[in-house]
Amino acid sequence: MDLERISNYIENLYKDKEELNRKKFQDETELKDFVPVVDDDVARFLKLIVAIGSPKEILEIGTSIGYSAISMAQMVKKYKGHITTIEFDETVAKQAKENFIKSGVDDQIDLKIGDARGIVPNLNKKYDLIFQDVDKRLYPILFDDCIKLLKPGGIFVADDTLFPVIDLDPKWRYLIPSIEEFNELVINDSRIESTILSIGDGVTIALKK
Ligand SMILES: C[S@@+](CC[C@H](N)C(=O)[O-])C[C@H]1O[C@@H](n2cnc3c(N)ncnc32)[C@H](O)[C@@H]1O
């Protein structure tokens, strides 16, 4: 299977349909430095997961400039759900906040500025959906907390979990061992049922039993 051809075909089909797309979003954002966000197919997937399950409480770890949070918030807004998102870079967080306001979803989103390693273990809510998209080295470290923070029947989604097998830019290869460790943790955890989808750079989806 030629994955690039498949991906190009899909993106071409959707190119005129998306109100929010990654390139436009990045182009319209003032912050032009390195600001990674999910691929468009992952944004569509998140939107669908939210539309299907109407999760009331969502936790996102890794906000960046807010593309994935806004993608989810557009759905969340329809049923008055709530997103908590965590970002430790203050400049990036400021840009995310501006983007939330500009997109009309600021009321749906609580942006916590700080290190996820300190914030996540101290959260006192339970979540219906957790989206993990932080520094990949933190995935194994935060995994147990994420599963504990999920309600039974809650969904855990993690981006970039096919890093070990995709044609990854050499500058990101140092992250592969952390993703390999994370994938082993996911697969061997009896609290969840999971699979990995080959969208974006790989997306893990898991259901807490
Ligand atoms: C891949 S980006 C998130 C992209 C975002 N989910 C989107 O698609 O719009 C990862 C973000 O995590 C942030 N980050 C990295 N380490 C962090 C940490 N220890 N605590 C909180 N945020 C962190 C980075 O600054 C970066 O903005």
Cα of 1 vs centre of ligand 1, distance in Å, is: 31
- State whether the beta carbon of 133 lies less than 6 angstroms from ligand 1: yes
Quick check: 64 and 36 in contact, CB under 8 A? yes
**Any bridge partners for residue 105, and if so which?**
none
pLDDT digits 0-9 by tens, 124-151: 999 999 999 999 999 999 999 999 999 9
Q: What pTM was estimated for this model as a whole?
A: 0.96
What is d(CA 52, CA 37) in angstroms, rounded to the nearest whole number?
Answer: 23
Going by pLDDT thresholds of 50, 70 and 90, the confidence category of residue 34 is low
Domains annotated on the chain, with CATH: 3-208 (3.40.50.150)
Going by pLDDT thresholds of 50, 70 and 90, the confidence category of residue 157 is very high
Phi and psi torsions of 164, nearest 5°: -65, -20
pLDDT digits 0-9 by tens, 35-53: 789 999 999 999 999 999 9
> What number does the ligand 1 atom closest to the CA of 65 have?
9
- State whether the beta carbon of 67 lies less than 6 angstroms from ligand 1: yes
pLDDT digits 0-9 by tens, 85-101: 999 999 999 999 999 99
Residue-level pLDDT at 32: 67
**Any bridge partners for residue 208, and if so which?**
192
Quote the mean pLDDT of the chain. Answer: 94
Quick check: 117 and 92 in contact, CB under 8 A? no
Quick check: 53 and 128 in contact, CB under 8 A? yes
> What number does the ligand 1 atom closest to the CA of 96 have?
9
What is the chain's percent helix, strand, coil content, to nearest 5?
50, 20, 30
